[in-house]
């Protein structure tokens, strides 16, 4: 039986191949960490939304030629992490 980590790595490779992104490096743990921060600092459904928007922003930045793929991803993940950590919404229970 495969571990969760092995399954995630396999799934990531499958997705990357399907989208013809085999040459792009993905730090699965960094993405999952960002999702965790968003889920706990904002609300649980913010996790996939945050990671999607960060990835989309990184792709646009890299595609425009403003920076490398790695720099774009690092910047997008860093900004999203900071925003999620700093987010406060007293009217919503994040649990």
pLDDT band at 66 (very low <50, low <70, confident <90, very high): confident
Q: Could you tell me if residue 18 is inside a domain? A: no
Closest CA to 69 of 32, 27, 33: 27
State the pTM of this model. Answer: 0.84
Q: Could you tell me if residue 16 is inside a domain? A: no
Helix, coil or strand: residue 87: coil
Give me the pLDDT at residue 93, please.
Answer: 56
Residue 38 in this model has a pLDDT that exceeds 70: yes
Domain range enclosing 31: 27-86
> If 0-12 CB within 10 Å is exposed, 13-18 middle and 19+ buried, where does residue 16 land?
middle
Do 9 and 28 contact (CB within 8 A), yes or no? yes
């Amino acid at each position: 039986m495969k571990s969760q980590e092995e399954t995630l790595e396999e799934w990531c490779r499958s997705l990357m191949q399907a989208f013809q992104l085999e040459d792009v490096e993905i730090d699965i743990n960094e993405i999952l960490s960002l999702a965790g921060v968003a889920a706990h600092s904002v609300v649980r459904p913010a996790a996939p939304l945050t990671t999607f928007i960060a990835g989309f922003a990184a792709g646009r930045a890299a595609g425009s030629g403003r920076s490398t793929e790695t720099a774009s991803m690092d910047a997008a993940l860093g900004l999203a992490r900071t925003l999620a950590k700093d987010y406060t919404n007293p009217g919503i229970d994040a649990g």
